[in-house]
Chains A and B, each alone.
Chain A
């Protein structure tokens, strides 16, 4: 083999070495040059990562989630406490409910101003409710306010909401509805408002932070609103960075580029050892369940549905696959106020399942394996479904699993003939009324999400009663009965409510966060959030 004199290619190799050296040496220098030097207190987080987030959703009337972030610059009339057990005033200082449950009178907080300095008044409340109710606004939240007959504004500080029929979940509905400024939006037609760029150019709210800068696909920056009615926020800036790949936000958190993000369960476990981070756990308020298509004759017999509950070893699944971080549920609800003490816990009992199946003559009716459709694509859910498959096979029920994306799932769910069983998550709180549309006969698609066409007169009656019973003690009793009926009739085979997690830097002080369905809707005192330099 001929060897060339060293000059030609050797020179190339030397240049290459020099190039690589300069490149590698310059990188740490660039990193140093990029250290932030300003003295401002800035908290950067990934507030729209995870199931409660809705990246770049800025219209609170149409956003399906993302309320944690939206409530940093917008506010609602009422909010829950962080445990979602009690409602408290936000823009409404207090409220009265008439004895017949038809009139809600909100007394508004004085001295509240929009971010442009204009006062917040009852006219804004009326404007917002009317806007949400208007189908042109494209708001699915507006569905919650169809029972509102009128909104009256006797004075600037009082808004009177009149209902056409009592709705005990009305205050819960108001935790979804952020107030919008009449003076800024009244000239935009509701149908145009959906397309308006007001939402991401100059929205004004009444929250502790005001709109600063939006860099599409990257982040939104909010500035402290100095004349916030509870006092000037301690942070100067609050930044929400977008991470399309959730895992990248966790690396950014570990590296200290951001101070908060949502965590998957395995990430929460591995970060628990990191001294610079704190893991926050909270109930997801989403109950997982198997949904039966009641038009399939195999599920007509309640014994078959009960056999599913006894056959699945829910406790072991929770212990092994959720690391114990989930709460069992027999009727979709887990709030102890609405669950009777003697509700059937459906402890694992494969023998009982086999007996029930035998009594229902399962072997002769079972037919082809049952396909279970789900939109859950995460690893934990996959493992859970495989465990269920095994458990069910042990008692003689064969299932197959089909994972699809959410729009496909919606399409399948809308056509009763296209599916047999589903594995889903349904919000189970904070108000128990949210579970009604899963089972009541008036909520079959496309109106509600009773996709299985389940129908039971007792359950219909109890949910209707719960909706109109305003007295909270009586209401709790009604939902306890409803819970019992659901646990016995099993329109959905209710599994558990898993916990969800967030990770926050120990530099952040007074931070309040919990992973509710769709995020937010609780008071988090964001004006007190602080960060150590």
Chain B
């Protein structure tokens, strides 16, 4: 297993290289550059001043040269300097990654745990009103786009009911833990909705199938308590497809975070990504793509490792 993980980690290197080359090429094809974003559309600026700025931003060099320069520095841990704020990219991302991981992590934990719970309940109470309610909720949760859920949630729970703040990471002058949690709950729940919904759907299906298996009947015949039958025998076998699903949530979570972070003024990477693209901030865009690619690839690795833990039949050589 250790060897397998090592090999997978080594595989990350060519993959990441490929990702950065492709993104860099796509960026070059995007119209506009940092200078275009930097100067207001109706501001006059002399050709000399423009050329000077272009040189300062390093945009006067050929693309290939810029890529290799970027790569050389990145390998040494220097992600460059943002062309819109002139701060080191590492500092900017370092500041934003925490809130994003917190929001995504909380949403994932809520999504998976409630999804599993609802899914088990729905499977065991199949074709009752409880199953109907939970299944309807799941269909709704899967169909409603996250930004719409965000806007509705903000309107209902923040403005109308006043239960939650309208956004931000904490209130100014209040950095207490309770304040952070209070700011976290609503956006995390809203992102979680679709993961509760889809986890529930998969769990329900997998559990219904597992409950009809011979080993479940045998377990029950042995006189085991129903909780033990459900948790130890049925669920453990039903988990395998669910682990795959959870692994596939990570890229989608990042995409969803972009919308929710904007709506809830959450100072995370999703919001930073939008800003960096609007500003054509090449170093920042490249830095973000790199970090997100690492997160996604690590999540995939984690999924495969979890597989082996959940199902002892799976062996990686």
Chain A contacts to B: CB under 8 angstroms: 1, 4-5, 7-9, 11-13, 16, 27-28, 30-31, 33-34, 36, 38, 42, 44, 56, 62, 64-65, 135-136, 138, 140, 142-143, 146, 191, 194-197, 215-219, 221, 239, 241-245, 247-248, 251-252, 254-255, 257, 375, 404-414, 424-427, 437-438, 443, 446-449, 518
Known: A447-B47, A448-B44. A138 touches B53 (CB 8 A): yes
Known: A27-B163, A143-B49. A255 touches B158 (CB 8 A): yes
Known: A241-B265, A407-B37, A449-B42. A221 touches B172 (CB 8 A): yes
Nearest-Cβ distance from residue A136 to partner chain B, whole angstroms = 8
Which chain A residue shows the least CB distance to B165? Answer: A257
CB atoms of A9 and B31 under 8 A apart: no
Which chain A residue shows the least CB distance to B47? Answer: A446
Which chain A residue shows the least CB distance to B123? Answer: A9
Nearest-Cβ distance from residue A455 to partner chain B, whole angstroms = 16
Known: A9-B125, A31-B163, A407-B33. A375 touches B41 (CB 8 A): yes
Chain B residues with Cβ under 8 A from A5's Cβ?
226
CB atoms of B46 and A408 under 8 A apart: no
Report the Cα distance A151→B126, complex, angstroms. Answer: 85
From B31, B170, B230, A408 is in contact (CB under 8 Å) with B31
Known: A251-B158, A446-B50. A217 touches B56 (CB 8 A): no
Report the Cα distance A255→B86, complex, angstroms. Answer: 35
CB atoms of A140 and B45 under 8 A apart: yes
User: Taking each of B38, B86, B181, which has the highest tally of chain A beta carbons within 10 Å of its own beta carbon?
Assistant: B86
Chain A residues with Cβ under 8 A from B36's Cβ?
406-411, 414
Report the Cα distance A426→B36, complex, angstroms. Answer: 17
Which chain B residue shows the least CB distance to A448? Answer: B44
Chain B contacts to A: CB under 8 angstroms: 30-34, 36-50, 52-53, 56, 81, 85-87, 92, 95-96, 117, 120-121, 124-127, 130, 151, 154-155, 158-159, 162-174, 178-179, 181-182, 185, 225-227, 229-230, 261-265, 267, 271-272, 274-275, 278-280
Which chain A residue shows the least CB distance to B231? Answer: A8
From B45, B162, B168, A447 is in contact (CB under 8 Å) with B45
Known: A9-B124, A30-B178. A408 touches B226 (CB 8 A): no
Known: A31-B163, A251-B155, A257-B165. A449 touches B117 (CB 8 A): no
Chain B residues with Cβ under 8 A from A427's Cβ?
42
Known: A8-B229, A194-B86, A217-B271. 4 other contacts (CB 8 A): A31-B182, A245-B263, A407-B279, A410-B41
From B56, B121, B162, B261, A9 is in contact (CB under 8 Å) with B121
CB atoms of A406 and B37 under 8 A apart: yes
Chain A residues with Cβ under 8 A from B86's Cβ?
194-196
CB atoms of A12 and B117 under 8 A apart: yes
Give the top 6 A-B pairs by smallest Cβ distance, nearest first.
A407-B32, A217-B267, A410-B36, A8-B226, A64-B40, A9-B124
Question: Which secondary structure characterizes the binding site on chain A?
Answer: mixed
Report the Cα distance A254→B36, complex, angstroms. Answer: 36
Nearest-Cβ distance from residue B9 to partner chain A, whole angstroms = 32
From A36, A138, A143, B174 is in contact (CB under 8 Å) with A36
Known: A31-B182, A244-B262, A426-B42. A8 touches B124 (CB 8 A): yes
User: Taking each of B34, B42, B127, B169, which has the highest tally of chain A beta carbons within 10 Å of its own beta carbon?
Assistant: B42
From A1, A140, A218, B265 is in contact (CB under 8 Å) with A218
From A36, A197, A244, A247, B274 is in contact (CB under 8 Å) with A244
From A194, A218, A414, B168 is in contact (CB under 8 Å) with A218
Nearest-Cβ distance from residue B307 to partner chain A, whole angstroms = 26
Report the Cα distance A24→B40, complex, angstroms. Answer: 48
Report the Cα distance A448→B50, complex, angstroms. Answer: 11
Chain A residues with Cβ under 8 A from B56's Cβ?
138, 191, 194
Q: Could you give 25 example pairs across A and B, Cβ below 8 Å?
A: A9-B125, A16-B117, A27-B185, A31-B164, A142-B49, A143-B49, A195-B86, A218-B172, A219-B168, A248-B154, A255-B158, A255-B166, A257-B166, A404-B31, A406-B32, A407-B34, A407-B278, A408-B31, A409-B32, A410-B39, A411-B31, A424-B41, A425-B41, A446-B47, A448-B44
Report the Cα distance A195→B84, complex, angstroms. Answer: 10
Chain B residues with Cβ under 8 A from A44's Cβ?
172
Report the Cα distance A438→B267, complex, angstroms. Answer: 38
Which chain B residue shows the least CB distance to A191? Answer: B56
Which chain B residue shows the least CB distance to A434? Answer: B42
Known: A143-B49, A241-B168, A255-B162. A410 touches B121 (CB 8 A): no
Nearest-Cβ distance from residue B269 to partner chain A, whole angstroms = 10
Chain B residues with Cβ under 8 A from A239's Cβ?
172
Known: A13-B121, A216-B95, A446-B50. A34 touches B174 (CB 8 A): yes
Chain A residues with Cβ under 8 A from B41's Cβ?
375, 406, 409-410, 413, 424-425, 449
Chain A residues with Cβ under 8 A from B280's Cβ?
407
CB atoms of A143 and B117 under 8 A apart: no
Nearest-Cβ distance from residue A292 to partner chain B, whole angstroms = 16
Known: A64-B40, A197-B87, A248-B154. A254 touches B159 (CB 8 A): yes
Chain A residues with Cβ under 8 A from B278's Cβ?
405-407
Chain B residues with Cβ under 8 A from A28's Cβ?
163
Chain A residues with Cβ under 8 A from B168's Cβ?
218-219, 241
Nearest-Cβ distance from residue B208 to partner chain A, whole angstroms = 11
From A16, A34, A245, B121 is in contact (CB under 8 Å) with A16
From B50, B52, B172, B264, A241 is in contact (CB under 8 Å) with B172
Which chain A residue shows the least CB distance to B280? Answer: A407
CB atoms of A248 and B166 under 8 A apart: yes
Report the Cα distance A34→B165, complex, angstroms. Answer: 10
CB atoms of A34 and B182 under 8 A apart: yes
Chain B residues with Cβ under 8 A from A1's Cβ?
126-127
CB atoms of A64 and B43 under 8 A apart: yes
Known: A31-B163, A248-B167, A252-B167. A407 touches B120 (CB 8 A): no
Report the Cα distance A92→B279, complex, angstroms. Answer: 36
Chain B residues with Cβ under 8 A from A34's Cβ?
165, 171, 174, 178-179, 182
CB atoms of A410 and B32 under 8 A apart: yes
Report the Cα distance A375→B48, complex, angstroms. Answer: 26
Report the Cα distance A410→B40, complex, angstroms. Answer: 9
Chain B residues with Cβ under 8 A from A241's Cβ?
168, 172, 265
User: Taking each of A247, A426, A438, A446, which has the highest tally of chain B beta carbons within 10 Å of its own beta carbon?
Assistant: A446
Report the Cα distance A425→B39, complex, angstroms. Answer: 15
Report the Cα distance A210→B28, complex, angstroms. Answer: 42
Which chain B residue shows the least CB distance to A407? Answer: B32
Nearest-Cβ distance from residue A275 to partner chain B, whole angstroms = 16
Nearest-Cβ distance from residue A263 to partner chain B, whole angstroms = 15
Chain A residues with Cβ under 8 A from B171's Cβ?
34, 36
Report the Cα distance A217→B126, complex, angstroms. Answer: 47
Chain A residues with Cβ under 8 A from B271's Cβ?
217, 244
CB atoms of A143 and B166 under 8 A apart: no
